Copies of this chain bind each other. A is one copy, B any other.
Amino acid sequence: MRQSKLFTKTIKELPKDETSFNAKALIRAGFIDKVSAGVYTFLPLGLKVHNKICNIVRKEMNVIGGQEILMPALTPKEFWQVTDRWNNFDALFQLAGSDKKEYALGATHEEIITPLVKKFIFSYKELPTYIYQIQTKFRNELRAKAGLIRGREFSMKDLYSFHADEKNLDEFYELMKKVYFKIYKQCGLLNITYLTYASGGAFSKYSHEFQTLTNAGEDIIYICSNCRTAINQEIIKEQTHCPECNDKNFQKAKAVEVGNIFKLGTRFSKPFNLQYVDQNGKHKDIIMGCYGFGPSRVMATIVETHNDDKGIIWPEEVAPFKVHLIGIRNKELGIRNQIEKFYQNLQKNNIEVLYDDRDDVRPGEKFADADLIGCPYRIVVSERTLAENSVEIKKRGKEKCEMIKIDDVINYFKK
């Protein structure tokens, strides 16, 4: 894409009430715009990153057999009354329609998916089943000052699993732990993300969170000194030993919850009477699990953990573009034509490029923009590099520049 055609620009002036680093960096670089506390617009660059994160998650959910659906945001009161959560669910936005009908804005969707599955699943033959959506959620947060980390409106992948028995749920639950780490790896968060024990429900002793270390985090976790496990603040008092390795030394750290998985058991199937018929013709309760992942929050967490004083440093798989191509003195027709040819060639080879073709912007400003926006590779083409039939390639976050022959650039990215 040509930067001259992008309607957004990097901006200097920030909203006064914005205190979080992720929001400040994303607003300055033109990824998001603040509409209200905890409510943001995704601008073209931001939407690209957000879609990439969503597609990583979607791909992994499809691999394990997840079926994608899309549930509504308007969820009727009567569904929440069945599970006794209309008055008890934390931070539920509630509203009334013109026919006096009351709704909650979906903050989670157990109340919608359980009666939905009841219409289609009757037999042990149809279990297990995994259904997910990537959808906008709403939470009536008292405070929303952490940028995309705690939004009043935010994106969520929520998968719900349905099983004939606990053993089958347990197996899938363990698989999902692995799948989540595969996703964090692709988001560049693997090394700083911990499987964290949290309180369970009536059905299981623990649930699990995925917590990424960052000072921007609103949570405190306790990391086992011996293994890659952590415990959250909620259960640290009763949990004196690591549930994985039994070690009893922990290190306290700030972190942000980037995912959570929970064995629901029959918490929702019982009130909705979601049952199946087993091999012997007996009616039994379906056993459920749920698996949440917030793409917009993960995007913020990447920004909080991948940056320097010049801007964002996107991991390659979620970057808005792989290459930020900068033309110097590209007003001059001879130079412009050569850069243009190079730009077309990158695109033809499926390398995503943001081409800074603006001819009224000084080189220093272009470099500053490239650092702020944070694409993994910066390529500079100028009269000087063209004299050597070369371009200058620099990895974002590194100091070193390399001169690479124009004809070798595609191979450079293929290796």
Residues of A within 8 A of B (CB): 5-9, 11, 33, 35-37, 39-44, 47, 50, 65, 67-76, 91, 93-95, 97-99, 101, 103, 105, 112, 116-117, 119-121, 126, 129, 131, 136, 138, 140-142, 152-153
Which residues on the B side are within 8 Å of A36 (C-beta)? 72, 74, 76, 101, 103
Give the residues in chain B near A65, CB-CB below 8 Å. Answer: 5
B73 in contact with A47 (CB, 8 Å): no
Q: Say whether A67 contacts B7, CB under 8 Å.
A: yes
Complex Cα gap A141–B68 (Å): 28
Instruction: Sample 15 A-B pairs with CB under 8 A, ordered by A number.
Output: A6-B67, A7-B120, A7-B121, A11-B120, A35-B74, A35-B76, A36-B74, A39-B72, A39-B76, A41-B71, A42-B70, A73-B136, A94-B95, A97-B152, A98-B142
Given contacts A8-B120, A35-B74, 10 further A-B contacts (CB under 8 A): A5-B67, A7-B129, A33-B116, A35-B72, A36-B72, A41-B69, A41-B112, A91-B98, A93-B95, A93-B97
A119 with B152: CB separation less than 8 A: no
A33–B119 touching, CB < 8 Å: yes
Q: Quick check: A72 and B9 within 8 Å, CB to CB?
A: no
**Distance A71 CA – B73 CA, assembled complex (angstroms):** 15
Q: Are the C-beta atoms of A74 and B43 separated by less than 8 Å?
A: no
CA distance A91 to B99 in the complex (A): 11
Q: Is the CB of A70 within 8 A of B41?
A: yes
Q: Which one of B6, B69, B103 lies within 8 Å of A44 (CB-CB)?
A: B69
What distance in Å separates the Cβ of A66 from its nearest Cβ neighbour in chain B? 10
Within the assembled complex, what's the spacing in Å between the Cα atoms of A131 and B105?
Answer: 27
Q: A69-B44, A112-B41, A116-B41 are in contact. Are A74 and B138 (CB under 8 A)?
A: yes
A201 to B181, CA, bound (A): 54
Take A33-B119, A44-B68, A97-B93 as given contacts and tell me if A153 and B7 are in contact as well, using a CB distance cutoff of 8 Å. no
Does B70 contact A11, Cβ atoms closer than 8 Å?
no
Hey, which chain B residues are within 8 Å of A138, CB to CB? 73-74
CA distance A40 to B73 in the complex (A): 10
Q: Is the CB of A126 within 8 A of B7?
A: yes
In the assembled complex, the Cα of A140 lies from the Cα of B74 at a distance in Å of 11
Question: B residues within 8 A CB of A153?
Answer: 72-74
Q: A366 to B363, alpha carbons, bound, how many Å?
A: 65
Question: Given the complex, which residues of B lie within 8 Å of A95, measured CB to CB?
Answer: 93-95, 105
For A27, the closest partner residue in chain B by CB is: B119
Whether B72 contacts A41 by the Cβ 8 Å rule is yes
A25–B37 Cα gap in the complex (Å)? 42
Residues of chain B contacted by A93 (CB below 8 angstroms): 95, 97
Q: Which of A39, A76, A93, A97 neighbours the largest number of chain B CB atoms within 10 Å of its CB? A: A97
8 Å CB contact of A74 from B6, B39, B47, B126: B39
Chain B residues whose CB sits within 8 angstroms of the CB of A99 once the complex forms: 37, 142
Contacts of A40 in B (CB 8 A): 72
Which residues of chain B have C-beta atoms less than 8 A from A11's C-beta?
119-120
The answer for the CA separation of A74 and B93 in the assembled complex, in Å, is 11
State the CA gap A41–B69 with chains docked (Å): 7
B residues in contact with A140, CB < 8 Å: 97-98
Q: Are A73 and B73 in contact (CB under 8 A)?
A: yes
